[in-house]
Amino acid sequence: MGSVIGGQLICRNTLHTVRETANHATSVFASSSGISVSKIILVTGYGGFLGSAICRKLIQQGYAVRGVARGDYPELKSLGVECFKGSIADRDCCQAVCAGVSGIVHTAALAGVWGKREWFEEINVTATDHLLREATAQSINAFVYTSSPSVTFDGSPQINVDESAPYPTNWLCDYPRTKAIAEQRVLQTDSSRIATCALRPHLIWGVGDPHLIPRVIARCRQGRLMRVGDGKNLIDTVHVDAAADAHLLALQKMLDRDSNASGRPYFITDGQPMECWEWIADILSFANLKPPKKSISLANAYKIGAVLEWVFRLIGRQSEPPMTRFVAKQLGVAHYFNIESARERLGYRPPANRQELVELMRGTL
């Protein structure tokens, strides 16, 4: 028998094999690699844009890395990542891949502004619960959770906000709602037995980005991109390598049981807010495109988003509407963050060569 997790069939026999292989690999690391078992780090969603960057940096730092995801990533396997295919929404899979590790970096999530409520709850909340349960049961020392700044976003402008910003009582979509639930559970698990923290990287970008930048470019080419408001609202972004560095810093603090750093969330950005439309113009320039001149007021974009959401739900359409309330607000209001806590408690430093990193993007799309 098997169980359907997010549309994927996970066979019990496969999970049994994963568990046996994970246990065997733990002993192999200990006996033949020269790396202590205590150095094995599990990265969930290891094949993703951020997850793969974290894996590479962990390997560079001498960690043994185990990854779990739904896809196959031979390039990472060739680098030495111990790769497992499965869904962390399945508790048995979590139990298997957690065997013998001392730290977990949990990047896997269902992102997006549209979809069934239960999909987001299964991947973002239930899967995190499974990992936390296994981390506690198997005496894993450290747990770093990849959260999102949207866990504090209710549609109002966020101007240099820090981690004292509360969770909203009203949500514009299920992604930030479920990420906030999971984040709180991660932070509540922090104890003398396991150190936990949550990082909130914002709008991750860089060479190889398969999501954010290609999506903006595609919408422009399809004639579906327009400015919301005056485009001068300030927003934050973070380069993928900086976001990965922040995760390694946090992991080490958790492994060291640094009580000054654990049990907390952290905003992670490049530390250089910029105007939203200027940022979009930069993205489009990577593909030799110019920003369209079409514009719409924030109020009208929000109203259109609300109507489209209602219509799509009424007809049961699963594809994302061309505008939603969340997207309208994200494009039309300021949202940038204070990263002093990450600087002081984690030792995080945003990239000093941001413009050079931007130039590396040109001609890659």
Q: Which residues belong to the active site?
A: 175
What is the C-alpha to C-alpha distance for residues 239 and 202, in angstroms, rounded to an integer?
9
Give residues with Cβ within 8 angstroms of 120, minimum separation 6: 110, 174, 175, 177, 178
The strands making up 274-275's β-sheet, listed across from edge to edge, are 158-161, 335-337, 234-235, 274-275
Q: Are 152 and 166 in contact (CB under 8 A)?
A: yes
Closest C-alpha among 39, 15, 54, 9 to residue 240: 54
Q: Are 64 and 35 in contact (CB under 8 A)?
A: yes
DSSP 279-325: HHHHHHHHTT------EE-HHHHHHHHHHHHHHHHHHT--SPPS--H
Residue 316 is encoded by which pair of tokens? Answer: 């049961």
Q: Are 295 and 276 in contact (CB under 8 A)?
A: no
What is the C-alpha to C-alpha distance for residues 26 and 287, in angstroms, rounded to an integer?
45
Residue 44 is encoded by which pair of tokens? Answer: 């969930």
Q: Are 329 and 150 in contact (CB under 8 A)?
A: no
* DSSP structure class, residue 249: H
**Which residue do the tokens 């020392």 mark?**
141
